[in-house]
A = this chain, B = another copy of it.
Amino acid sequence: MRKKGDDKMMLRKSGYKATPARLAILNVFKRAKKPLSAQEVIETLHETDQATVYRTLKSLEEKGILRHIDLRHNHAHYELADLAEHHHLVCLECGKIEIVHHCGMEETQNRIVRSSKHFAEIKQHALEFYGVCKSCAARQKKL
A92 contacts B122, CB within 8 Å? no
Of the listed stretches A8-16, A18-26, A43-51, A70-78, chain B binds A70-78
Option from B70, B74, B131, B137 in Cβ contact (under 8 Å) with A89 = B131
Q: Closest B residue to A132 by CB, please name it.
A: B121
A74 contacts B76, CB within 8 Å? yes
CB within 8 Å of B: which A17-48 residues: none
A131 contacts B119, CB within 8 Å? yes
B103 contacts A120, CB within 8 Å? no
B92 contacts A130, CB within 8 Å? yes
Q: Closest B residue to A117 by CB, please name it.
A: B134
B126 contacts A70, CB within 8 Å? yes
A90 contacts the other chain (CB 8 A): yes
